[in-house]
Chains A and B, each alone.
Chain A
Amino acid sequence: MEIVENGIDAVKKAKQTLYAVIILDCQMPEMSRLEATLAIRKAGINRNTPIIGLTAMPASLLEDEWVVAGIDSYVTKPLEGREFVDTVYRLACGDKEND
């Protein structure tokens, strides 16, 4: 797992490397998650990579972001261990198996 600290670095990384899953925190300096998601989607290689948003609020409140940017899933903080791992696993592997 590679870790970056802000949206800009995430976009930079996402231009170079193909990831199975990208996890974005809700509040990041420099660039909002919505902007970062849109940029990653535009950047090319990770166009179809599942993006998981970490959020402290109910996912239903993030509808704008969800609809506009197409974030694939949200995991609500506090992270619940199994749910989180399952979500990452499902998005990283599960969806591909179904293709």
Chain B
Amino acid sequence: MVRKPDFKILYVDDEPKSLRYFKKTFSSDFIIVTADSGAEALDILSDAGNNIGILIADQRMPEMTGVEVIQKARSFAPEIVSLLITAYMDLDVALDAINGGHIFQFICKPWSTDSLKIMLLEAAQEYERNRHCLILEQKNRELEESRRTQERFIYTLSHEVRTPVGLSLNYSDALLESTLSEEQREYATSINVVNQSLLSVLDNTLDYSMWESGKLVLHEFPFKLSDLLERIEQAFGLQFKTANVNFVLKRSTEGIDNLVGDPDCLFQVLVNLLSNAIKYSAAGKEIELSIEILKSSDRSVDLRFAVTDTGEGIAKAIMDRLFKPFSQLQTAREGSGLGLLISKELVTMMGGEIGVNSEQGKGSEFWFEVEFWLGSDSSDGEEPLNGSRTVEGIPILLAEDSAVGQAMVDGLLSPGIQRGDR
């Protein structure tokens, strides 16, 4: 014997004879519940514990028609499959109800047991489908929610970690400026280099989670290319030294220094490409950063940045996958793998293009091209930006809860106090 479905069929009809007959006929295949009015039917339906899967309603009932019962039932249990029993004269009503998506099928009175049974089996299948859909939708919502939670978690975590890493970097900077023994200097240098690379991993992670949730945006303002390059050399100086690679900066951008764009974005792409170059270059080799003008007008300039290493190079098959999420050649090369992906997103956001040329055994060239607006020289007539400016005597209010942070700002803004003294 076929097992009865776990859900029930509710049949509502004002004729007791029909109810009795229906129950007798189908109770061997289904669990049947009956009601003799629309109100009673809705009462039963409103209790989810009754587990009604199929609703059969007679159209012609006093007080509430079958279609009305079905429409109301749908409002609180949309997964229930509804059948309408009509006489031929009510066919229009039934067709309207089908077209309106309210009912699954209609049954004409008088009904034949066989065809009604087939219809009930089909309705049962439909109900199972509806139920599965609901479960899937629910699961989908849960997954979506957990993904968001995870995203927030990653974001918060990287953010929380970034602050102490940044401070640690500041202090190792300060340490390196003080008088140290050879051995101490070596240790402080290692701390500094590790902190730098930690910071760039954190930046990439933050950007990646922002990018995933579509919140990564450009922040454009005037900046100096020379300042940016200085920042790069400052950030990488120790890393180049530690890795024992020779850094060559080839800048052929005469007359162009004041740009408008997102320098942090540009900085991060360069950091990522240079970090990779260091990672994959053997000691004693050379890493070159070249910047050249592709095209320039009165208002804008197309710049091409290229980081060239003399490492082992990259196989052709792998090159295509380089900029794709988590598909980098991690087997052969270590790294967080986010760097190139993020670089691609950042360059794309800046409206540029990124790519790689490589020949195995000879090395690789990672390049990108971005257009910048030309800025005006903002420092005209002012004293040069050589750090000689002081903010002595300017009334400043600082709100900062950590003593370390206070000391840091105070040290930077108070003239005569060198960072190394602290």
Return chain B residues, CB-CB under 8 Å to A83: 227, 231
The answer on a CB contact under 8 Å between B389 and A25 is: no
Interface size on B, as a range, is 35 or more
Number of chain A residues close to chain B: CB under 8 A: 48
Question: A85 interface residue, CB < 8 Å from B?
Answer: yes
The distance in angstroms between the C-alpha atoms of A81 and B386, with both chains bound, is: 11
**In the complex, chain B residues whose CB is within 8 Å of the CB of A18:** 395
Contact A19 B396 (CB under 8 A): yes
**Cβ 8 A contact of A23, one of B219, B382, B390, B397:** B397
B203, B219, B397: which has the most chain A beta carbons within 10 Å? B397
* Contact in complex: A25, B167 (CB < 8 Å): no
User: B166 near A56 (CB under 8 angstroms)?
Assistant: yes
Stretch at the interface among B15-23, B31-39, B311-319, B412-420: B412-420
Which chain A residues (62-99) contact chain B, with CB distance < 8 Å? 63, 76-86, 88-89, 92-94
| Cβ contact within 8 Å between A25 and B391 | no
Which residue of B170, B387, B408, B410 contacts A1 across the interface (Cβ within 8 Å)?
B410
Assuming the contacts A6-B399, A22-B397, A92-B394, asked whether A78 and B387 have C-beta atoms less than 8 A apart, the reply is no
Chain B residues within an 8 Å CB radius of A36: 399
Known: A25-B402, A56-B163, A78-B166. A85 touches B396 (CB 8 A): no
Cβ contact within 8 Å between A61 and B206: yes
> Do residues B207 and A13 form an inter-chain contact, with CB atoms below 8 A?
no
Q: Does A20 contact B (CB under 8 A)?
A: yes
Question: Cα distance A14–B206 when bound, in Å?
Answer: 33
Question: Within 8 Å of chain A (Cβ to Cβ): is B77?
Answer: no
A13 close to B397 (CB less than 8 A) = yes
**Assembly CA distance A54 to B405 (angstroms):** 10
Please tell me which stretch of B45-53, B62-70, B209-217, B321-329 contacts chain A, meaning at least 4 of its Cβ atoms lie within 8 angstroms of it: B209-217
Given contacts A5-B401, A59-B219, A76-B264, contact A89 B206 (CB under 8 A): no
The answer to whether A1 and B169 have CB atoms under 8 Å apart is no
Compute how far the CA of A58 lies from the CA of B389 in the bound complex, rounded to whole angstroms: 26
Closest-CB distance, B48 to chain A (whole angstroms): 41
Contact of B219 among A2, A13, A60, A79 (CB under 8 A): A60
Contact B400 A54, beta carbon cutoff 8 Å: yes
Asked if B102 is an interface residue, CB under 8 A from chain A, the answer is: no
Q: Which chain A positions have C-beta within 8 A of B264?
A: 58-60, 76
Query: Chain B residue with minimal CB distance to A18?
Result: B395
A81: B residues at CB distance < 8 A? 387, 412, 419
A41–B389 Cα gap in the complex (Å)? 28
Are B167 and A77 interface neighbours, CB within 8 A? yes
Please state if A79 and B412 are interface contacts (CB–CB under 8 Å): yes
Question: Contact: A5 with B399, CB < 8 Å?
Answer: yes
B2 proximal to A (CB < 8 A): no
Q: Is B344 an interface residue when CB atoms closer than 8 A count as contact?
A: no
| Distance A28 CA – B390 CA, assembled complex (angstroms) | 27
Are A19 and B397 closer than 8 Å at their CB atoms? yes
Please indicate the chain B residues that have their CB under 8 angstroms from the CB of A60 in the complex: 216-219, 262, 264-265
Q: A1-B410, A23-B409, A60-B218 known; A77 and B398 CB under 8 Å?
A: no
Is B159 within 8 A of A20, CB to CB? Answer: no
Q: A2-B398, A20-B394, A21-B396 are in contact. Are A82 and B387 (CB under 8 A)?
A: yes
Measured CB to CB, the nearest residue on chain B to A63 is: B217
A92 to B394, CA, bound (A): 7
In the complex, the answer to whether A58 meets B219 with C-beta atoms within 8 Å is yes
Given A1-B410, A29-B401, A82-B387, A88-B396 contact (CB < 8 Å): yes
15 contacts between A and B (CB under 8 A): A19-B395, A20-B395, A21-B391, A23-B396, A25-B399, A36-B399, A56-B166, A58-B203, A58-B207, A79-B412, A81-B412, A82-B385, A83-B231, A89-B389, A92-B396
Which A residues lie at the B interface, using CB under 8 A? 1-7, 9-10, 13-14, 17-25, 27-29, 36, 54, 56-61, 63, 76-86, 88-89, 92-94
A-B pairs, top 8 by smallest CB distance, nearest first, are A78-B166, A10-B399, A25-B400, A60-B219, A56-B163, A77-B166, A1-B396, A56-B162
